[in-house]
Structure 1
Amino acid sequence: MSLAVDPATYTLAAQFLALEARLLDEGREEEWLELLDDDLLYTVPSRQAALPRSAEINRDAWRVRDTKAHIVTRVRRGDQGHAYSEVPPSRTSRLVGSILVEPTDQADVIAVRSTLLVYRQRGIDVHFDLIPARRADLLRLTADGPRLLRREVVLTETTLKTPNLGVFL
């Protein structure tokens, strides 16, 4: 594993993840959409608890498998009040850490791995969810800044304790 990226590239990736978390936590999904590459693939594969670590992630079965068009539809449904799983809307706080940035064989794409902890609370409900995950991203470096090209979110839990995945991870 090569960790040979320059400090400026690392900082660019870390700033991207921080900006993304802030936009989502503040409910600024329309602005967040601008950070997504047109060729985006966003997946949350299924995880099996009874299997050994080497085989527990099933990349042929997904909890979520969205393109940018799917995500735009989800955001617009929420804007129109048609995303009933988000009524009332979730209040979130994302903590992103353990960021590793690696070069890829494409000069304009970097691989970024991170851990994510999402605190989620809805309306006046006193209950809250904690959603821990690991993410593997590909960021395309463009003249307009980094764009999320691929994201795989591997949930730590095999059985979700949150009622739905109506929030972006």
Structure 2
Amino acid sequence: MTAAAEAPDTLTVDTATYTLVAQFLAHEARLLDEGREQEWFELLDDDLLYTVPSRQSTEPRDIEVNRSAWRIRDTKAHVRTRLDRQNTGHAYSEVPPSRTMRLVGSVEVHATSEPGVVAAHSSLLLYRQRGIDVHFDLIPCRRNDRIRLTAAGPRLLTREVILTETSLKTANLGVFL
């Protein structure tokens, strides 16, 4: 079940939980923008599932997202492998590394039926530029997250990224959304 299907509007959270989750989303964006991927990795739940499903522009809006076909479908182990590869100097899509700025907004937080887990929906606008390129990318998307609230702080449990564009104009998607 997707986070969107799991979060009816009637399941509200208190202001403190909303603030905690909104701060978490802003913090992870800053960590990624500052190249602090290892610190960001520590915010991921061990059961992480990070997906970017395919989107078909020829389909009606209610069925245009194909959740059985993915651009990306990573577990925490896959994310670890991606980060380790970036640090080899041989991940050529990130040599030189992307300069990014993530603008997170339209945050909604809802309770779920799962104890200690909330659903968070947000918009993300990613600005990305590599030092050798004269152009830049703007990648808009919606994110449907499930966040586990732990004693150590919030942990990203699932993230579904719905890209606004069906055809990406960027040469690669070597950064996290």
TM-score tier after normalising by the smaller chain length: over 0.9
Q: Higher mean Cα deviation, 114-123 or 81-90?
A: 81-90
Q: CA deviation at 1:123?
A: 1.1
Q: CA deviation at 1:94?
A: 0.2
Aligned residue among 34, 52, 59 for 1:26: 34
Counterpart of 1:37?
A: 45
Counterpart of 1:155?
A: 163
Matched, 1:168 2:168: no
Counterpart of 1:122?
A: 130
The one-letter code matched in structure 2 to 1:91 is R
Q: CA deviation at 1:106?
A: 1.4
Cα pair 1:3 1:100 within 8 Å, conserved: no
Cα pair 1:48 1:58 within 8 Å, conserved: yes
Query: How many equivalent residue pairs?
Result: 169
Aligned residue among 56, 65, 68 for 2:64: 56
Q: Higher mean Cα deviation, 73-82 or 31-40?
A: 73-82
Which ranges in structure 1 are unaligned for 5 or more consecutive residues? none
Matched, 1:134 2:155: no
Q: CA deviation at 1:82?
A: 2.3
Q: CA deviation at 1:3?
A: 5.1
Q: Aligned-residue CA RMSD in angstroms?
A: 0.7
Which segments of structure 1 move beyond 6 Å, counting only runs of 4 or more?
none
**3-state SS in 1 of match to 2:21:** helix
Cα pair 1:43 1:153 within 8 Å, conserved: yes
C-alpha separation in 1, matches of 2:139 and 2:168: 8
C-alpha separation in 2, matches of 1:3 and 1:135: 19
Q: CA deviation at 1:84?
A: 1.4
The one-letter code matched in structure 2 to 1:71 is V
Q: Higher mean Cα deviation, 74-83 or 95-104?
A: 74-83
Matched, 1:102 2:102: no
Counting aligned pairs with the same residue, the percent is 73
Counterpart of 2:87?
A: 79
Cα pair 1:96 1:117 within 8 Å, conserved: yes
Per-residue deviation, residues 94-119 of structure 1 (Å, max 9, x unmatched): 00000000000012000000000000
C-alpha separation in 2, matches of 1:81 and 1:155: 28
